[in-house]
Amino acid sequence: NAGVTQTPKFRILKIGQSMTLQCTQDMNHNYMYWYRQDPGMGLKLIYYSVGAGITDKGEVPNGYNVSRSTTEDFPLRLELAAPSQTSVYFCASSRRGIIGGDEAFFGQGTRLTVV
C-alpha cells in the first residue's frame, strides 16, 4: 500500500536555487495539502487543492507555488530558495476533504535545508 509518497526525503539547497518537491497519492483522493513543520511551531498549511485543476493558498504560501494537473500528483515548487524555507515538508491527502468523517493521510516528509 503506497498511500502518499513524497520525494526526495532529504535535500540541501543553496540560496537562490529552485526545486520541486514531489507528492503523489494512489488512493484517488480529491483533496491534497502541503504543510511545513518548523521546530516547536506545529504544522502550517502552505497550499491545498480540492481537485485536479483547483488550488488555493493556505497560511504561509509566500515563496511557493503548486499545480494540480492530475488527481494523483501535487508538486510544490520553490523558485528562489531562502534560509527561511529550511523546514520539514509534509504532503497529505484525503478523500472527501475530511467532511463526513474522513481523515488526512500524510507522506513521510521531506527535510529541506537551505544554506
Partner 1 sequence: EDKVVQSPLSLVVHEGDTVTLNCSYEVTNFRSLLWYKQEKKAPTFLFMLTSSGIEKKSGRLSSILDKKELSSILNITATQTGDSAIYLCAVLTGANSKLTFGKGITLSVRP
Residue 61 touching partner 1 (CB under 8 A): no
CA distance 115 to 109: 19
Q: Do 19 and 10 form a contact (C-beta atoms < 8 A)?
A: no
CA distance 67 to 80: 17
Residue 25 touching partner 1 (CB under 8 A): no
Burial class (CB within 10 angstroms; exposed 0-12, middle 13-18, buried 19+) of 67: middle
Contact pick of 35, 64, 71, 85 for partner 1 (by CB under 8 A) = 35
Q: Which is nearer to partner 1, 68 or 109 (CB)?
A: 109
Residue 58 touching partner 1 (CB under 8 A): yes
Q: Do 76 and 89 form a contact (C-beta atoms < 8 A)?
A: yes
CA atoms within 13 A of residue 15's CA, in its CB half-sphere: 4
Which range binds partner 1 by CB under 8 A, 19-27, 45-53, 62-70, 78-86?
45-53
Q: Which is nearer to partner 1, 79 or 102 (CB)?
A: 102
Residue 103 touching partner 1 (CB under 8 A): yes
Q: Which is nearer to partner 1, 14 or 42 (CB)?
A: 42
What residues line the site for partner 1 (CB under 8 A)?
Answer: 31, 33, 35, 40-45, 48, 50, 56, 58-59, 90, 94, 96-99, 101, 103-109
